[in-house]
Amino acid sequence: STVVVVFEAPAWKWKAREDGTFSSASGDFGFCVRPGDKVRAGETIGR
């Protein structure tokens, strides 16, 4: 059996610099696990 979780999360945030260009800021979602990892219910997989 398999479970697939699909979810929306902050992917990127763009911040204006003084010179008018943009840079990405923190706040993006990131996974804490990798393919092949064993996980248990309740363990963080992304933050």
Partner 1 sequence: IHAANSGDSQAGKGKFLLPGATAAVLVMLGALHARRMYDDKKVVQRKEKGIEPEFSPDFKASLIRLLPLRSMSRFWGSLMEVDIPVFMRPTIYKAWARAFHSDLQEVALPLEEYPSLQAFFVRSLKEGARPIDPDPNCLVSPVDGKVLRLGELRGPGTMIEQVKGFSYSVASLLGTSSSLHDAAEEELSREHIEQSTPENSNAKSWWRVSVASPKLRDQTVLSPKKGIFYCVIYLHPGDYHRVHSPVDWNILKCRHFSGHLFPQNERAIRTVRNLYVENERVVLEGRWKEGFVAIAAIGATNVGSIRVNLEPELRTNRAVSRMVHSLPPEERVYEPEGTGVVVKKGEEIAGFKMG
Positions touching partner 1 (CB under 8 A) are: 1-16, 22, 27, 29, 31, 33-47
- Cα gap 16→27, rounded to integer Å: 15
Tell me, what amino acid is at 40? R
Tell me, what amino acid is at 46? G
- The three-state secondary structure class of 29 is coil
